[in-house]
Structure 1
């Protein structure tokens, strides 16, 4: 099929490829709270403004329970990923989520449940334990292969083809049920940086 008969976005990519221009850039994303302070455990994701990218489920993902806490507190998975919930404590736990992104219950158990939980819808699932009220965690389900979580510094999104994207950021201290905050960015062939400030609640 000649390039002129292809959709404009695909025709552009093929034209750039033919000239050796297409590169893969790294987008470095700093996520700050409402006061301008860097936020660890913020999740950033990059989605094309038009269309979507192919996504594969991840493997060997675990959210454990240790010292009567979930670990890690924030987990990012792609759509379709199965997550296991091993209990490393000497007490039993009752893990649940009532979130629209995923509703499930793992009733009182020790060890490792026989069947992992499949997270098949984008969104944020808030986890709790029906026995230990202090336990809380979050699983962020993304529908893009480009995502990262901040630690002590910016999140790094590598291998991004040039184009227009919707950059989204989320953090556990956002108001309950608030969607990730978003902005549109244009990625070129050179590495670049972006900063997002979230309307966070007071950190617990």
Structure 2
């Protein structure tokens, strides 16, 4: 399966500090668009503060990727380092799962409808998934070690609150992003009232 490669632009905007947030934290709104200004959906955005504590955390969404209609659903999933991901089979046919990615190399044998298999992901990075029976099936798991991460919506926007003020690294990943490992990183300064626009042009 071939993907068109689009140069992407990352636009990072800060929102004013709300009274309900802890002192020294901010809300960050990130929008991802392509070179034509079209929003890019399902791009993974990670914000890693320089003062990251390394504490364990969980995301509010379920760590699960189903197999339905001969596709991985969702096609991309963001999970915390050390998470165990469930793979329920909702199809009438059997599926297997494999990955040769550096972050996780494994193979799950064939299993049938309404059955579930699980796999743990102890290392950060991108895990590309496939099915030995259905070559067109592709899925991606992005394993992160920061709680300030998520995927862009249909408007190309990812918003997160409670990000510590100060220096941080923003990492953008998308399977069609034309850069090494399909990701790009840049340094930013997060403040309680961040109004400056940060733009990164990618090759």
TM-score band, normalised by shorter chain: 0.7 to 0.9
Is 1:185 aligned to residue 185 of structure 2? no
| Residues 40-51 of structure 1: pairs in structure 2 closer than 5 A | 40-49=41-50
Aligned twin of 2:160: 157
Greater helix share, 1 or 2? 1
Q: Is the 8 A contact 1:61 1:83 kept in 2?
A: yes
Give the aligned partner of residue 174 of structure 2. Answer: 171
User: Aligned residue pairs: how many?
Assistant: 178
- Residues 28-107 of structure 1 aligned to structure 2 (within 5 Å): 28-49=29-50, 52-57=53-58, 60-107=62-109
Gap regions ≥5 residues in structure 1: 1-20, 200-204
- CA gap of 1:183–1:71, structure 2 versus 1, over 3 A, is same
Query: 1: distance between equivalents of 2:100 and 2:58?
Result: 22
Distance 2:39 2:198 in 1: 13
- Per the alignment, residue 129 of structure 2 pairs with 127
Unaligned runs of 5+ in 2: 1-21
Shift of the 73–165 alpha-carbon distance from structure 1 to 2, 3 Å rule, reads same
Q: How far does residue 197 in structure 1 lie from its aligned partner after superposition?
A: 4.2
Give a deviation string over 1:33-75, Cα, whole Å, max 9, x none. Answer: 3444321000000112355532325584110001111100010
CA distance in 2, matches of 1:40, 1:166: 21
**Aligned equivalents of 2:137, 2:182: Cα separation in 1:** 22
* Residue 113 (structure 1) aligns with: 116
CA 1:118–1:176: 2 relative to 1, 3 Å = farther
TM-score, with length taken from structure 1: 0.78
TM-score normalized by the length of structure 2: 0.79
Q: CA deviation at 1:191?
A: 5.1
